[in-house]
Chain A
Amino acid sequence: AQSVTQLGSHVSVSEGALVLLRCNYSSSVPPYLFWYVQYPNQGLQLLLKYTTGATLVKGINGFEAEFKKSETSFHLTKPSAHMSDAAEYFCAVSAQSRRGGNKLTFGTGTQLKVEL
């Protein structure tokens, strides 16, 4: 079974500071990993994904994440936070279902606050 742990339900950074949101996963097979962002009263938007190949993945809005198999981690980073980055972020791992489609298992989310 897959699982995802996001350390820190709330993270606060200053505008211009580094953003680091932590995600650790458990998977019995090579995982597909995703980061989603949710702005208030909206659905989830895909930020980036890791499938195979390059372990450093770049996404939208200047975010990137590094897949580290030895640490079972997929932490999300952004060099310089902007006020518009304030949102909730979800890490997810994909497992193939017996019916052919995939199922996503989500972490509990990290609320990012950006302060002036």
Chain B
Amino acid sequence: DAGITQSPRHKVTETGTPVTLRCHQTENHRYMYWYRQDPGHGLRLIHYSYGVKDTDKGEVSDGYSVSRSKTEDFLLTLESATSSQTSVYFCAIRGGGSYNEQFFGPGTRLTVL
């Protein structure tokens, strides 16, 4: 158990509203990631963080922003949600080993109506 929690676990919102998803970890890992999972696409990287206040874009970052003001929390924000952002969102951390394996949270299912 990598000590990762995500909140909320489920959310339904309407097009145009802002949404923030939270990822919280308890083990002081430096690297954190946000992915989205969609049928037929597997998981795709949205943004990642390599330290407090240090973030970078992934392959599907348009329409998303992130923030990391402390080590344990990594926030994903949809400034103005669209139906194409309906998805399951997973947070991950890079483990402490030397082989770059990542460990995943339980996911947040977001529906944008």
Contacts and interface: CB of A to CB of B under 8 A. Distances in A.
Given A32-B99, A34-B101, A51-B99, A43 B90 contact: yes
Interface in B56-102: 56, 58, 90, 92, 94, 98-102
Interface in A49-103: 49, 51, 90, 94, 96-97, 99-103
Nearest to A1: B59
A contacts with B: majority SS: strand
A85 to B, nearest CB: 19
Chain B interface size, as a band, is 20 to 34
A105 to B, nearest CB: 8
A44 B54 contact: no
Contacts, number: 65
Contacts of A94: 100
Interface of B: 30-31, 33, 40-45, 48, 50, 54, 56, 58, 90, 92, 94, 98-107
Interface residues of A, number: 27
A81 to B, nearest CB: 22
Given A103-B48, A107-B42, A108-B42, A46 B99 contact: no
